[in-house]
């Protein structure tokens, strides 16, 4: 038995020496800064800290709060809207105004809670007077939502309205032509649908959104 143990110890020592030889000294170092350079999957909190300081576009001068996103970081379903409105800018949270209340009801009608899903926007800062996002603002901000999606890796993304749908799908068709079908974004299924703010003005189209939500539910319920 003792002989076996010695053999194991010497084999391990040999292996460690070999690893040191091949440039893996940082594994044996007590230097925390070296340990921190080991590849670690970026997490949502780290990204959030970075985005909260963002000054990549002019919206950083007029925003009250950056609206990073909120919800379950392990969500199977992610909703992506356009940009924060006034209520979101004040609270620093996505979809908390009138359109947000409708989104909450849509999520609950699907048999889920807001805390089950993750909610974010393409733009993290409010455009003044709720004007539409500028192409330059989308360009400056789209990396943030891309990284959020990479970290969360949901099963399905529901793109709310024209801007989220066209941005994620790199498409220029109107939302009425895009909605109701699944597309792919980095291997993740994307369902474009009408924006809840549009539904507040056009309640007759709620039934179309409900058709789209049923398709999402069916996809989430698979295996
Ligand atoms: N509209 C959006 O697109 N996003 C929000 O967070 C609120 C309203
Ligand atoms: N325009 C948008 O931006 N979104 C909709 O859902 C409908 C019209």
- Rounded distance from Cα 218 to ligand 2 centre (Å): 24
- Rounded distance from Cα 200 to ligand 2 centre (Å): 11
Average pLDDT over residues 152-181: 98
CA atoms within 13 A on the CB side of 45: 0
Helices marked H in the chain = 2-21, 32-35, 44-51, 59-62, 86-91, 98-109, 135-152, 161-169, 175-178, 196-201, 206-221
Looking at all shown ligands, the one closest to residue 163's CA atom is: 2
Q: Which atom of ligand 2 is nearest to the CA of 82?
A: 3
In a domain, 39, yes or no: no
What's 158's domain CATH number?
3.40.470.10
Between 37 and 190, residue with greater pLDDT: 190
pTM: 0.82
In a domain, 149, yes or no: yes
Number of structural domains in the chain:
1
In a domain, 23, yes or no: no
In a domain, 153, yes or no: yes
Which residues, at least 6 apart from 154, have a Cβ–Cβ distance to it below 8 Å?
75, 76, 77, 78, 118, 188
Print the domain residue range for 85.
44-220
Return d(Cα 181, Cα 158) in angstroms, integer: 11
Tell me which residue has its CA closest to atom 7 in ligand 1. Answer: 95
> Quick one: what percent of the chain has pLDDT higher than 70?
82
Which residues, at least 6 apart from 182, have a Cβ–Cβ distance to it below 8 Å?
189, 190, 191, 215, 219
Residue 38: what pLDDT? 44
Backbone angles phi, psi at 47, to 5 degrees: -65, -40
Token output for 43: 């997490």
Ligand 1 pocket mutation, candidates 79, 91, 121, criterion most atoms within 8 A of CB? 121
For the Cβ of 81 lying below 6 angstroms from any atom of ligand 1, the answer is: yes
In a domain, 201, yes or no: yes
Looking at all shown ligands, the one closest to residue 80's CA atom is: 1
In a domain, 55, yes or no: yes
In a domain, 32, yes or no: no
- Rounded distance from Cα 67 to ligand 1 centre (Å): 10
Average pLDDT over residues 24-47: 59
For the Cβ of 167 lying below 6 angstroms from any atom of ligand 1, the answer is: no
- Rounded distance from Cα 105 to ligand 1 centre (Å): 15
pLDDT digits (tens, 9 = 90+) for 127-144: 999 999 999 999 999 999
Mean pLDDT rounded to a whole number for the chain: 89
48-58 residues labelled b (16+ CB within 10 A) or e (exposed): beebeebebbe
Tell me which residue has its CA closest to atom 1 in ligand 2. Answer: 162
For the Cβ of 100 lying below 6 angstroms from any atom of ligand 1, the answer is: yes
CB 95 within 8 A of CB 88: yes
- Rounded distance from Cα 219 to ligand 1 centre (Å): 25
In a domain, 72, yes or no: yes
Please report which confidence band the pLDDT of residue 191 belongs to, taking 50, 70 and 90 as the band edges. Answer: very high
Please report which confidence band the pLDDT of residue 13 belongs to, taking 50, 70 and 90 as the band edges. Answer: low
């Amino acid at each position: 038995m003792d002989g076996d143990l010695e053999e194991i110890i010497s084999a391990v020592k040999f292996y460690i020496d070999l690893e040191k030889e091949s440039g893996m000294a940082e594994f044996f170092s007590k230097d925390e800064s070296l340990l921190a350079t080991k590849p670690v999957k970026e997490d949502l909190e780290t990204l959030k800290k970075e985005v909260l300081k963002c000054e990549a576009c002019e919206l950083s001068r007029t925003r009250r709060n950056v609206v990073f996103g909120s919800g379950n970081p392990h969500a199977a379903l992610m909703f992506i809207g356009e940009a924060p409105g006034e209520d979101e800018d004040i609270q620093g949270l996505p979809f908390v105004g009138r359109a947000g209340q409708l989104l909450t009801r849509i999520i609950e009608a699907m048999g889920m809670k807001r805390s089950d899903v993750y909610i974010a926007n393409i733009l993290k800062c409010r455009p003044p007077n709720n004007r539409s996002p500028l192409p330059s603002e989308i360009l400056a901000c789209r990396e943030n939502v891309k990284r959020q999606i990479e970290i969360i890796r949901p099963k399905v993304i529901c793109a709310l309205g024209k801007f989220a749908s066209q941005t994620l799908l790199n498409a220029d068709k109107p939302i009425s032509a895009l909605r109701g079908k699944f597309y792919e974004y980095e291997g993740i299924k994307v369902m474009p649908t009408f924006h809840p703010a549009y539904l507040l003005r056009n309640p007759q189209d709620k039934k179309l959104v409900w058709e789209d939500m049923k398709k999402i539910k069916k996809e989430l319920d698979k295996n």
